[in-house]
Amino acid sequence: MAQTDTITAPEAISPMREAWGQFLRNRPAVFGLILLTVIIGFVLYGRYIFGGDPYQIVWGPLTAPGEREGILLGTDFLGRDILTNLLKGGAPTLTVGVSAALLTVVIGIAVGATAGYFGGWIDDLLMRLTEFFQVLPALLFAMVLVTLFSPTLFTIAFAIGIVSWPPTARLTRAEFLRIRELEYVTAARSIGATNGRIIWRVILPNALPPLIVSAALTVGVAILFEAGLSFLGLGDPNSVSWGLMIGQNRNYLLEAWWPVAIPGIAIFLTVFAVSLVGDGLNDAFNPKLRSR
């Protein structure tokens, strides 16, 4: 009896798994992910190792790093331990960044998806609204909002999200304009799928890759925004953040660099890590860039 050879088809790789594999081959992106993980771990668990009250005066003002035993990074203008404040201030800074990015994505996707799917006068109206917010001075508008509603972490995140959504809305609209004319959308429409189902279940999942990249980069922008507001004296005075540390010590920069430079370096490393991860996601989800 003749032996027959069977040919097995190669196993299909899911798009997410393929994108993850591409991401792991991007060394700068992996380095950024590791760096971001270290920073988050440092913020979440570092205080259990070093401990301390961020508001407690531990030694004389503006003590240099290493000058006093047990005070690794020195003290600020009031004599508070910078390391303790750095650990305590990381969580509010990252929280504001992530919360503002989520609000930006939610508003941007809602506006962009509605405009791109329905088109016509709805598209014109929503795009005029987007352009209105886009031409406003973002930092000045955020300052006005924070001043009106008092500077708390919630209002800061809300203000940043309100001024940052137009680019996400434009990107979402462009993706919906491209995808809504494809065959599988037409097929879904022909079998009687509602507009809501087509928007959220058919088009949006296929438009997500560039939006995920945009959301990752928005986190870094929001962190810088929070630092800028705090530097101008509009940070939450009841919550330590890296931006607030810079803002409170900026008048003493010529006398002591470390109270400003150390939280500044923390912000730089965080935004740098987020940017590397965002760039890696862009390469992973964009087929045109995978051979780069």
pLDDT in tens, 29-74: 999 999 999 999 998 888 777 778 888 889 899 999 988 888 889 9
Q: Please indicate, yes or no, if residue 60 is contained in any of the structural domains.
A: no
Q: Domain of 104: which CATH number?
A: 1.10.3720.10
Q: Please indicate, yes or no, if residue 233 is contained in any of the structural domains.
A: yes
CA 157 – CA 102 distance, rounded (Å): 10
pLDDT at 12 exceeding the cut of 80:
no
**Who's near 231: CB < 8 A, 6+ residues apart?**
243, 246, 247, 250
Tell me the C-alpha to C-alpha distance, in Å, between residue 138 and each of 49, 141, 156. 39, 5, 13
Strand partners, 81: 75
Question: How many structural domains is the chain composed of?
Answer: 1
Tens of pLDDT, residues 95-104: 998 999 999 9
Tens of pLDDT, residues 170-210: 999 999 999 988 888 888 888 888 888 899 888 988 888 88
Tell me the C-alpha to C-alpha distance, in Å, between residue 103 and each of 67, 97, 161, 223. 43, 10, 5, 14
State the CB neighbour count (10 A cutoff) for residue 21: 11
Return the H-helix or E-strand segment holding 248.
Answer: helix 242-249
Contact 29, 23 (CB under 8 A): yes
Tens of pLDDT, residues 131-152: 999 888 888 888 888 888 888 8
Name the least confident of 17-26, 157-166, 249-258: 17-26
Q: Give the pLDDT band of residue 274 (cuts 50, 70, 90).
A: very high
Q: Please indicate, yes or no, if residue 68 is contained in any of the structural domains.
A: no
In this prediction, residues 102-129 reach a mean pLDDT of 93
User: What pLDDT, on a 0 to 100 scale, did the predictor assign at position 269?
Assistant: 94
Question: What sign for the dihedral angle of Cα 91, 152, 108, 201?
Answer: positive
Q: Please indicate, yes or no, if residue 62 is contained in any of the structural domains.
A: no
Q: Please indicate, yes or no, if residue 93 is contained in any of the structural domains.
A: yes
Q: Please indicate, yes or no, if residue 291 is contained in any of the structural domains.
A: no
Look over the chain and give the mean of its residue pLDDT values, rounded to a whole number.
86
More confident position, 122 or 4: 122
Q: Please indicate, yes or no, if residue 94 is contained in any of the structural domains.
A: yes
Question: By residue range, what is the domain housing residue 247?
Answer: 73-286
Q: Please indicate, yes or no, if residue 17 is contained in any of the structural domains.
A: no
